[in-house]
Structure 1
Amino acid sequence: MVLASFLLLPTSSIKAQTADELLRNVKAKMDKVNDYIATGKMKTDVVFIKAPIANIKSYFKKPNRFAIKRDGGVSLLPKGGVSVNVSSLLLTDSYTAIDAGPGTVAGTAVRIIKLLPLSETSDVVLTTMYIDEKNLLIRKSSTTTKENGTYDMEMQFGKYAEWGLPDKVIFSFNTKDYKLPKGITLEYDDGSKKPELPKNKKGKVEISYSSYVINKGVTDAMLK
């Protein structure tokens, strides 16, 4: 009789995973990666900056060590603790997760989760994640900070999806919040030197990874 009663339960009574449970499952998938070395190409699209497509290597070491090295120069990525490394999005459990319902990213059904940091000293004000619940992949994120503006990341996945590692990362930001690495001087198209980037223009960095070497070891020297 107990079995019969169980079988008669309506399917609506089966509880879906909560926002916290979904985030834990996504993090558990990414936690399988202790380190990696990724090979790829980086395209920097910031108005007036001369930045040809560059061959790059990305290095990651758990929990939060990450670096990009490019041939022939310094990577022009915004400073301020916002990284193009997907794993950095779930480094802390000190947040309140709010389920914002369903959505789509590039035709893929996602669940939208908003993260509000609990720490008053956090530079991050709000992070919104667009999670492919079926495959436990973060398809897109938007992070708003106190000091460094808002940054968006969109991830495309392929042969490394089982590790939660993207084949392509599209990182966009507003140039008014773009902070150059110390010592970098920009050369404009007319050959002159100017101290500031144009305001209220969108900048974009695209990284396309061709291969990953996963859990084979990354030294501290590689991350310098």
Structure 2
Amino acid sequence: MEESSGDPASDTGPGTRRRTGVRELHRQLTRQRLLDAAVDCFTASGYVATTIEHITATAGTTRATFYRHFATKAEVVIEILRVLGEDFESAFVALAEIAEAPERGAVRQWLGATLDTWDKTRKASSAVAEAAAVEPTVQAHRSAAFERDIANLADGLQRSGRWGPDAARVRAVVLMSQLEQLFVRWSTQGWDVDRASVVEVLTAMWSAALDLPETD
């Protein structure tokens, strides 16, 4: 084992940085294991029925380890929501850009790609939706994230010069609310309709809301 030389500069040497990096990597991996375990437990048993013991047993950790990372179950879900925001961030940045010069083909492509992303994250999204129904703090974070998405789309629509602030926001609220409800239903009840048909119907509805031609 390396010993300190007594020189403060040695605390920032290669060995110290390497150990710090290993500890940080371990911390991140443990935190991710807890998040993955929480999603699995929420999916299997529901948010309310899941206990911290269920999460730690699934993750192969202890309560003490859990509390080094999260104060409550709700805090776990807020972190899941943050990660979901990162997963969808590029999609909603792209949507705001599309909104500046909306075109039917671009809207169709964006909707299809977003459904693909949602498919990969549906378990986590379902867990967040269930927790939000009983945890005010989760609902507050979820509402804030939804409002940011609406504001980004509304800003893009307004920059197009086709709509003023009020008209742009109305369209953004309607379109994002429609998409959210579809995703929530899909997450909780499964996909019981043809996927390609969903994309086409959504494209037609979005195109109508954005006053786009019926054909590309």
Q: TM-score, normalised by structure 2?
A: 0.25
Query: Normalized per residue, which structure has more strand?
Result: 1
Q: TM-score, normalised by structure 1?
A: 0.25
Query: Normalized per residue, which structure has more helix?
Result: 2
- Give the greater-gyration-radius structure (CA): 2
